[in-house]
Amino acid sequence: MTPRPLWFVGDVHLGRAAVTLPRALADHDVDALRLAPAAAFLRLIDAVLESEAEALVFAGDLVDSENARFEAYGLLERGVRRLVDAGVRVFAVAGNHDVVALPRLAREVRGFELLGQGGHWEERALEHASLVGWSFPEARVKTSPLGALRLEPSARPRFGVLHCDLDASSSHHAPVARAELLAQPVDAWMLGHIHAPSFAADAGGMALGYLGSLSPLHRGEVGPRSALRVDFADRGWSFERVELAPLRFEEVRIVLDDTMTDDIATVVLAAMRDRLAALQATSVEVLVLRIRVGGRVRDAARLRAELRALDIEAASVTLGSKLACACELRCDLRTALDVEALARGGDAVAVLAREVLELEAAVEAERATALAMELQDFDARLRLETRFRAVQARACEESPAQRLLRVGHAMLASMLSSTPVSTSGPSNDGTHAAAIEAGP
């Protein structure tokens, strides 16, 4: 008999809706509820049933809060009943957001199994593996729950399910150290709490990381969101990510130069259409884009003015049944200058040009350092994509050196053209003028 797969899911937050959606959705009669976590949850139930799975396991924050319990109850009950009636077991650990709601739901919904209730570790046997889990006993847990875990080595695969703050020095959300997890006789740790996915296998064979959210909740949660499917074979087990959410947020970068012949609105819409075309084989129905326009052109001031005039939240393109729209526009255009040639002179322009060259070197060094730190501490960077900020701080915000460099380039261009210079910041205000829209 072929072993049946297992499914693992990170934060779902039934009862919440995606926020910061652009108003272009209304122009296409798209109901925002179609893009809420509930829609991804229903697709998840269908995918689990279609795969003839043995079990579905949630890593906490399945329900958003106690206030959302009644809103989520009917949907969750119907989903669990469909699974249980088909012979699929349903497990969950309670996270910090559903520490009250989830135990109640477990008592009221037949077949819903809560792992590690009350902060006590618990192991459950499956056909070809076992699950070990711990649930939040209260909304704030300041110490690691791993100190109370005692496991003997197992000949069968063992999967740990935990809602926690990984490698956090100080946290109210069950802080645990990576070394603590690696020391346990567990084949994989499926973690909940952080919405950015990071689950991966290391060189030693253990897999560990955040499953990520099932569906994005705001524009800061860029990239695909997915569930994890685990399959078994004679030589062990393997996993694959399965994207189910109808909504995805992404950032698209457009680099302009002086060979551009189309107007800026056409260029923006073409970039949106190209990105949407790349997602034709995915579950995504609505793609919401943060657009960043950069490059070096001779008439940067004119193009910046044209970008400011775009009503970016009205921009949309369709391709088949899929829709792409935009929620934000950032402009990092610079005037094309030969700074090295300008720096060879002896006037004020040359002095400023030399300062700009020094800043460019500093910014490159800054980027190299940032990349090294990112590679050394990937999980710390993921924590910066924090949980539930309605509007996350922009991931590409300028550093002081980058801002000085941008201002320096603007001043050089102004000095050479004898026109006033503005140093108020990059153009990202989304000022509205004419709407832009395109079809397939």
- Cα torsion through 336, 341, 346, 347, rounded to 10: -10
Contacts of 254 (CB under 8 A, 6+ apart): 267, 268, 271, 291, 292, 293, 294, 295
- Residue range 158-198, pLDDT digits in tens: 999 999 999 887 889 999 999 999 999 999 999 999 999 99
* Backbone angle region of 320, left / alpha / beta, with phi > 0 → left and psi within -120 to 50 → alpha: left
What's the confidence (pLDDT) of residue 437? Answer: 37
Q: Is the pLDDT of residue 295 over 70?
A: yes
Helix H or strand E encompassing 359: helix 348-376
- Residue range 243-272, pLDDT digits in tens: 999 999 999 999 999 898 899 999 999 999
Q: What is the largest CA-CA distance in the chain?
A: 83
Query: Would you give the DSSP letter of residue 66?
Result: G
Whole-angstrom distance, CA of residue 93 vs CA of residue 95:
6
Q: How confident is the model at residue 407 (pLDDT cuts 50, 70, 90)?
A: confident
Looking at residue 230, its amino acid is V
Q: Are strands 6-9 and 226-233 parallel, antiparallel or unpaired?
A: antiparallel
What's the confidence (pLDDT) of residue 370? Answer: 63
- Residue range 35-58, pLDDT digits in tens: 999 999 999 999 999 999 999 999
What's the confidence (pLDDT) of residue 398? Answer: 60
Mean pLDDT of 130-137: 96
The 3-state secondary structure of 185-213 reads: CCCEEEEECCCCCCCEECCCCCEEEECCC
What tokens were used for 438?
Answer: 């395109």
What's the confidence (pLDDT) of residue 142? Answer: 93
What's the confidence (pLDDT) of residue 422? Answer: 47
Whole-angstrom distance, CA of residue 272 vs CA of residue 288:
9
From 412, 242, 258, select the one nearest 339 (Cα to Cα): 412
What's the confidence (pLDDT) of residue 408? Answer: 76
**Contact by Cβ (8 Å): 286, 408:** no
**DSSP string spanning 74-138?**
HHHHHHHHHHHHTT-EEEE---SSSTTHHHHHHHHSTTEEETTGGG--EEEE-SS-EEEEE--SS
Is the CA virtual torsion 131, 137, 141, 146 positive or negative? negative
Mean pLDDT of 115-124: 95
**Contact by Cβ (8 Å): 195, 387:** yes
**E strands along 336-429, which residues?**
none
From 412, 423, 436, select the one nearest 348 (Cα to Cα): 412
Provide the CB-side half-sphere exposure for 435 (13 A, CA). 12
pTM over 0.85: no
**Contact by Cβ (8 Å): 313, 303:** no
What tokens were used for 417?
Answer: 């053209």
Q: How confident is the model at residue 67 (pLDDT cuts 50, 70, 90)?
A: low
- Counting every residue written for the chain, the total comes to 440
- Count the Cβ atoms, other than its own, within 10 Å of residue 360: 15
In Å, how far from its chain's centre is CA 141? 25
In Å, how far from its chain's centre is CA 350? 44
Mean pLDDT of 308-330: 94
Whole-angstrom distance, CA of residue 10 vs CA of residue 8:
7
What tokens were used for 140?
Answer: 């704030």
Q: Are strands 158-163 and 310-311 parallel, antiparallel or unpaired?
A: unpaired
Query: Where do we find the tokens 């393109």?
Result: 317
Q: Is the pLDDT of residue 280 over 90?
A: yes
Q: Residue 159 pairs with which residues in a beta bridge? A: 131, 188
- Residue range 369-391, pLDDT digits in tens: 765 555 444 444 344 433 333 33
- Residue range 208-248, pLDDT digits in tens: 999 999 999 988 899 999 999 999 987 789 999 999 999 99
Mean pLDDT of 111-124: 95
Mean pLDDT of 341-365: 83
What's the mean pLDDT when you consider all of the chain?
84
